[in-house]
Amino acid sequence: MNKDTGYTDIKSWNYAAESPGGRVMRGLIAGPDAHNVEAALRHQGLIPISIRPATNSWFTGGRFAPSASLQGAALQDRDIANIAAQLHELLLAGIPVLAALRFAATCAPRPAQRAVLQELVGQVTAGNSVSSALRSASFNIPQFVVTLVEVGEATGDLGGQLRRISAHYESRVALERDLRGKLAYPAALLVLTIATVLFLSFGVLPQFEGIFTAAGAVPPPETVLA
């Protein structure tokens, strides 16, 4: 039992697991021991292949060591989706909220994600709820997120609300990616059309002027303009 936090020490574990589709997934997960980590992976529908302690610890002398904050930064949709998904998985594994926030901060792939999680760690350590910490955060947190987290805390289903938040923003990211993919072809076609028109106007048509001049004929207006 950790004297500072009052809960069983949580360790970080590197894992390799097979997904239902047969793809091997690797990552970092938190848990008190390998048995609990295996159970958490199987609960997610994964078949554990290997589980071993991570070489880096997410505690520094039993306390979290935050890095510099990116105050005023705006979180992107993928940031919110990633944070909500990871916290949901950690809470689903039975890890306390504060420990989940600390662990997620060490695993965050982007500086903005780490900074907002570190800020939440400080607020929750001081006794604030997650929703109030989000409401007073220096980051631009959407009201939609704050409201769902507040509902989750009031109903005792914070993990479920985090899953809803993650699904919502993942769908937004997927829609944006799909729109970019569908607009890529028309954009490329437009550029090619403009390039073709410019080539014909300034590269091909002027050559006909010499032909008409040699024949003693008046060139068409398109050739003269070119």
Per-residue confidence (pLDDT) for residue 220, from 0 to 100: 62
Query: Above pLDDT 70, what percent of the chain?
Result: 75
- In this predicted model, which residue has the larger pLDDT, 206 or 224? 206
By residue count, the chain amounts to 226
CA gyration radius, the chain: 28
The pLDDT confidence band at residue 62, using thresholds 50, 70 and 90, is very low
If you average pLDDT over every residue of the chain, what do you get? 77
Query: Above pLDDT 90, what percent of the chain?
Result: 14
Per-residue confidence (pLDDT) for residue 205, from 0 to 100: 67
pLDDT tens, residue by residue, 18-43: 888 777 777 777 667 788 878 877 87
Sign of the CA dihedral with 76 first, then 78, 83, and 84 last: positive
Per-residue confidence (pLDDT) for residue 150, from 0 to 100: 92
Per-residue confidence (pLDDT) for residue 54, from 0 to 100: 72
Give the Cα separation of 162 and 93 in Å (integer). Answer: 14
Does the pLDDT value for residue 67 go beyond 60? no
The pLDDT confidence band at residue 209, using thresholds 50, 70 and 90, is low
Sign of the CA dihedral with 18 first, then 55, 1, and 65 last: negative
Q: Which two tokens stand for residue 29?
A: 């997960």
- In this predicted model, which residue has the larger pLDDT, 43 or 103? 103
Contact 76, 141 (CB under 8 A): no
Mean pLDDT of the 141-145 span: 87
Contact 116, 139 (CB under 8 A): yes
Residue 109: count other Cβ atoms within 10 Å of its Cβ: 9
Lay out the sheet containing 24-31: strands in order across: 24-31, 11-18, 47-53
